[in-house]
């Protein structure tokens, strides 16, 4: 399955004996030695050879136990009419049971609620009273990229509350990755600063380059004409007109001093 830590909230680990899996966060469980809750909503599976009925206590409520059904033991499979034996009380010699959170199943009935395959000793995840195998849980609940619809296992980004793979979060026009780059949006589609400027931005009347406003760029508008701040200069003496009065002279703008000289 690979690393499921980012998708399921904890890392699922399958071991051959003893330990089991303890992670941080949500509810991934590993079947091998024991399924005991470790503080994050998950746990381990314990497989025990039982020679007499086990006594449960409060600390064992979150333990899943695989054991033999003992002769004369009171047992009722949680699957009810869906029991694979057709008899919820079936307890012939050698039949095993799974116990988890005060419920009991025949071993063969302890199955994924989606694919219906028996869990056996594979990893599983409990959610809202249902049991899922790791594969079906991932398919049903994992975060998916809004662009390619594939599962995001790690390193995703969020934009406008939508999840993306880093490699899928690209400029709508040039397709270059936007992670770590300046970008903006048009009609809810992301564009890098260069493409946005070329496609949609106003043009400076002096230098003809786009005015994007990205990164705090300042600009000046007058009578449907636009200038970068550093391009808004007197057409005669080239002094900056930012914050000063000016006079139009055809297509040019000039400072008051140059205007006086022209009138002399």
Same domain assignment for residues 178 and 219: no
Question: What is the structure's pLDDT at 167?
Answer: 92
Same domain assignment for residues 171 and 113: no
Q: Is residue 10 part of a domain?
A: no
Same domain assignment for residues 188 and 233: no
Q: Is residue 253 part of a domain?
A: yes
Total of domains in the chain = 3
Question: What is the structure's pLDDT at 217?
Answer: 65
Query: How far is the C-alpha of 212 from the C-alpha of 143, rounded, in Å?
Result: 33
Nearest Cα neighbor of 163 from 176, 178, 150 is 150
DSSP letters along the chain, please?
Answer: ----HHHHSS-----SSS-----SSS--EEESS-EE--SSS-EEEEE---SSPPPP-GGGTTEEEEEEPPTT-----TTGGG-TTS-TT---TT-EEEEETTEEEEGGG-B-TTT--B-TTS-EEEETTEEEEHHHHHHHHS-B-TTT--B--SS-EEETTEEE-TTT-B-TTT--B-TTS-EEEETTEEEEHHHHHHHT-EE-TTT--EE--TTS--EEEETTEEEEGGG-B-TTT--B-TTS--EEETTEEE-HHHHHHHH-
Q: Characterize the bridge pairing of strands 43-47 and 29-31.
A: parallel
Question: What is the structure's pLDDT at 213?
Answer: 66
What's 134's domain CATH number?
A: 2.10.110.10
Question: What is the structure's pLDDT at 54?
Answer: 37
Task: Yes or no: say if 8 and 125 are a contact pair by the CB < 8 Å rule.
Answer: yes
Residues of the chain with pLDDT under 50: 1-61
Question: What is the structure's pLDDT at 214?
Answer: 62
The range of the structural domain enclosing residue 160 comes to 156-198
Same domain assignment for residues 245 and 222: yes
Same domain assignment for residues 80 and 107: yes
Task: Yes or no: say if 234 and 253 are a contact pair by the CB < 8 Å rule.
Answer: yes
Q: Is residue 246 part of a domain?
A: yes
Structure tokens that stand for 79 in this block: 């699957």
Chain position carrying tokens 């249902």: 130
Question: What is the structure's pLDDT at 23?
Answer: 33
């Amino acid at each position: 399955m690979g690393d499921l830590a980012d998708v399921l909230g904890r890392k699922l680990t399958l071991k051959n004996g003893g330990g089991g899996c303890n992670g941080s966060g949500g509810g991934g469980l590993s079947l091998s030695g024991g399924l005991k809750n470790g503080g994050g909503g998950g746990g381990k599976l314990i497989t025990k050879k039982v020679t007499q009925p086990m006594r449960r206590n409060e600390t064992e409520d979150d333990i899943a136990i695989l054991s033999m059904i003992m002769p004369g033991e009171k047992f009722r499979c949680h699957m009810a009419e869906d029991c694979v034996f057709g008899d919820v009380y079936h307890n012939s010699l050698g039949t095993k049971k799974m116990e988890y959170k005060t419920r009991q199943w025949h071993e063969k009935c302890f199955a994924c609620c989606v694919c219906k395959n028996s869990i056996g000793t594979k990893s599983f995840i409990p959610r809202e009273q249902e049991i899922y195998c790791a594969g079906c849980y991932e398919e049903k609940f994992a975060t998916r990229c809004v662009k390619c619809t594939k599962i995001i296992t790690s390193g995703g980004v969020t934009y406008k509350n939508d999840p993306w793979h880093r490699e899928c979060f690209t400029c709508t026009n040039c397709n270059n990755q936007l992670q770590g780059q300046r970008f903006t949006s048009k009609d809810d589609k992301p564009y890098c600063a260069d493409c946005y400027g070329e496609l949609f931005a106003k043009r400076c009347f002096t230098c003809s380059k786009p005015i994007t406003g990205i990164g705090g760029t300042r600009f000046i508008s007058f009578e449907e004409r636009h200038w970068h701040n550093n391009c808004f200069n007197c057409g005669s003496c080239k002094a900056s007109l930012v914050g000063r009065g000016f006079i139009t002279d055809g297509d040019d703008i000039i400072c008051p001093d140059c205007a006086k000289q022209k009138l002399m």
